[in-house]
Structure 1
């Protein structure tokens, strides 16, 4: 029952709902004791020949009033207890999403999307059941069980009650044994479900590649193995889950056998009346639900306990990058001074950034080029504070970057990554994603600057065209330009284009660069590129190789030299800038 201790913070928060819900259950438990008493009275008076019509009508009316109150109380506890459990699910899901939003990129490398989805769906539902059905089962089993036992002892007979309930301890022992097995097997089943979620997501995202390579049969066969593993893991816990009902039913049957044998003997010896035995049978029927509820409770509690531990494990992960005490609450402006002596990823033995130093003044454009894996994107990630774990310093304005409040710091940047992500909503909403209050005129102006306005106008629904998941309904160039428009709409202090013009033709690239030069003549722009035509106009170009800066200057200087830049530039000129070459 540790899960209830773990959820005590929420139950204190919702104590009014739970108190009213449990009080309603208590009223129902007491009222449920009345019908057997009335039935016993009617039977005994009929047996003795003393029952009158007036008495019968009075008792029947009492039954109807009793039923009406029970109906009202059942409505109350459903609203209170189940309502609170749904609020818990909503609260945990919101907190989980907020937690995901705070996490550093390394968190999403270690935790697959399918796992996170399973935590936010299946696991949360299991916890919600504990806070709803679990509370109902626990409270009802305790209140109904105790009240029924009291009625059996005081209204019927203590001896008959004790003999009838002899098998009960065996049910409790059996339920505890089953719950331990259930805990272990359910944990494995949930892990298998997470793996299946990952595989499903991966298969759907990669369906084009699968079909292109003609691997449909192999993919189906592989997916079949995954589903078979989930099936086996679920079937491993099913016997323990299914064991609760037979256990309880066997105990109940034994209790009934003892009741009838002992009851018949006691009637014969005039120790109880026929009406009292009838009431005892009714009370045994009432006692079945608390016994079943107890079994269900063990089941739900174990599932919820496993799921809550899985969720808590995520909450226990702290962001790699977080605000320092007294973080500066302002959007940074001014020079960017980069002086990183050493940075390496956890799984890397050699530095990815090695003694890199440069400065960018406001209104300047910085171009960054280099071989694949030279550290260009890592350099941008450090500037965007995806990690603060490096030797050296990065200044933005008068302060080191780590001293700024993260939310305020990121407001200074408009970032267009290599892998653009578009949401499943209209093109207009994708462009205004970072500025939700932007007018349609502002959206169109940003699209014109990114040379995508005419493409959008060519769609049947224009800016209201719905973008498919991850932008599947658009070409690569259109996705890149919409992502650029989204960044331009923010008019950020620093615009970063990380190889964001690779999917557009040379003329479109030229138009976009001309627009950038015009509208961003007073702001900082950083362009990472493989095509050198994208950085010809830059005030400063740095060439990176193996995490170091190997060349530095403006385009004309570097192109006239004898280094890697000049070599690749000549190759690109030979092929008219139409192909991106990397060596």
Structure 2
């Protein structure tokens, strides 16, 4: 049954992780979440398994033993023999609270250790590039020492508690022999009764000793259960409740007086954004780093909570559109790519597992990655490694782009999705996507003019505000922020071409 509890909690916790909003992952580290999903669940399973069995076993033996002593020997002798029991109960409560708090500290230490290990493995190339192996070893050693010290504090407490319980069980036996011997001398009970009494008390030694084990395991389990409940009590992405039946999107987007501030931040990431995008229109978004470009993309895909009445798709408030519909008809290719540790084919087909090989190849061709894949020995069956590290940054971005294109969305958002490829490759990819984008609403976010210059409408963001909008030619004539970016990038390209 404890394994069933383990299975249920583990599955429930994993499902909960998938339903939590991005802001949750902004506040929690991967190592801490991994510790809760492994170590804490194991401690909880021990509580519902071994501790429960031991508690039932001890309780049954104690009740039966005391009942037999009262009925067959003597009530007074039985009560005197049970004098240590209240002391054991008080000690269990006292030590239980201390074990709980110290085990919480142990688990938090393990979370920090797991997080540091995971972070080092993920950034191993950076660690080696900057020759920081000694620094990472020192950091790991400090965390390990802290974890060991917290465990030692817990073990010391347990080392005091268990002998105390054992000693008190011995006291109970000694009291039985002393008081029972007195009663035998006074002929109040027979010698046989005394021998039987001491045998019964001896049988109760194990239940009394097991109390220490049970308290230890239960307090550890409760500490872990609290850490798991902290996750389960987190606010999920709310379910959409609407009378309207929305089954698909066509691609008309309207943004009205949108303001947004990240949780915990004081400065607005976006301020007074107004924009109308018609179905099939291509919109370019450009601006300096930190101007709010990616924030706009995250809100359009509802990765963060959008204020009501600010973003509409096909006339529907985005908060009223079911997630399944939004995810089905809208795709975003982020700048920070992520590939799973599987084949290129499975990575491209991640959002459409029933896709045919022809569809996968067509998406790869649109993303200009097909020829590269065909040069690999295993072609589409090539394993990309953890996070796709066996591929270059540009190759990972193009595989990610192919994954989004395969979804055939009504709205596609490219959030600096080709920043890792060179300008010529980016030009080729965008040129090849023109006919694809004509059939759907497209939002191209980039820091390069070349990526957005052919858009039907270009908006320029600066400090979270739209400071300019228009076509490429109109914005150049205005000689504003866009014009300055254009001049700078043109000069940079000229210098690079001369150096070549």
TM-score, normalization by structure 1: 0.79
Task: Indicate the residue corresponding to 1:409 in structure 2.
Answer: 326
Aligned partner (choices 484, 492, 500) of residue 567 of structure 1: 484
Q: Within 5 A, what are the aligned runs for 1:516-555?
A: 516-555=433-472
User: Is residue 178 of structure 1 aligned with residue 95 of structure 2?
Assistant: yes
Aligned partner (choices 350, 353, 361) of residue 270 of structure 2: 353
Cα deviations across residues 447-484 of structure 1 (Å, max 9, x unaligned)? 12111112222222222222222111111011101100
User: Is residue 293 of structure 1 aligned with residue 203 of structure 2?
Assistant: no
Task: Indicate the residue corresponding to 1:424 in structure 2.
Answer: 341
User: Alignment partner of 2:275: what SS?
Assistant: strand
Task: Indicate the residue corresponding to 2:351 in structure 1.
Answer: 434
Q: Within 5 A, what are the aligned runs for 1:287-436?
A: 287-319=204-236, 322-326=239-243, 328-390=245-307, 393-436=310-353
8 Å CA contact 1:144–1:287 kept in 2: the answer is yes
Aligned partner (choices 6, 25, 29) of residue 108 of structure 1: 25
Task: Indicate the residue corresponding to 1:447 in structure 2.
Answer: 364
Measure how far apart 1:528 and its partner are.
0.6
8 Å CA contact 1:103–1:320 kept in 2: the answer is yes
**Equivalent-residue separation in structure 2 for 1:428 and 1:280 (angstroms):** 75
CA RMSD of aligned residues (A): 2.5
**Equivalent-residue separation in structure 2 for 1:527 and 1:445 (angstroms):** 21
8 Å CA contact 2:103–2:223 kept in 1: the answer is yes
Measure how far apart 1:159 and its partner are.
5.1
Could you list the runs of 5+ residues in structure 2 that have no partner in the other structure? none
**Equivalent-residue separation in structure 2 for 1:325 and 1:293 (angstroms):** 56
User: Is residue 492 of structure 1 aligned with residue 409 of structure 2?
Assistant: yes
Higher Cα radius of gyration: 1
Residues 1:321 and 1:105: Cα distance change in structure 2 (over 3 Å) = farther
User: Is residue 250 of structure 1 aligned with residue 185 of structure 2?
Assistant: no
Measure how far apart 1:418 and its partner are.
1.0
User: Alignment partner of 2:469: what SS?
Assistant: strand
**Equivalent-residue separation in structure 1 for 2:202 and 2:433 (angstroms):** 79
Residues 1:380 and 1:328: Cα distance change in structure 2 (over 3 Å) = farther
Measure how far apart 1:262 and its partner are.
5.6
Measure how far apart 1:271 and its partner are.
4.0
User: Is residue 127 of structure 1 aligned with residue 44 of structure 2?
Assistant: yes
**Equivalent-residue separation in structure 1 for 2:166 and 2:266 (angstroms):** 62
Aligned partner (choices 150, 153, 157) of residue 233 of structure 1: 150
Aligned partner (choices 56, 81, 86) of residue 3 of structure 2: 86
Could you list the runs of 5+ residues in structure 1 that have no partner in the other structure? 1-82
User: Alignment partner of 2:325: what SS?
Assistant: helix
**Equivalent-residue separation in structure 2 for 1:309 and 1:325 (angstroms):** 35
TM-score, normalization by structure 2: 0.91
Task: Indicate the residue corresponding to 1:72 in structure 2.
Answer: none
Measure how far apart 1:168 and its partner are.
2.7
Measure how far apart 1:519 and its partner are.
2.7
8 Å CA contact 2:249–2:313 kept in 1: the answer is yes
Task: Indicate the residue corresponding to 1:145 in structure 2.
Answer: 62
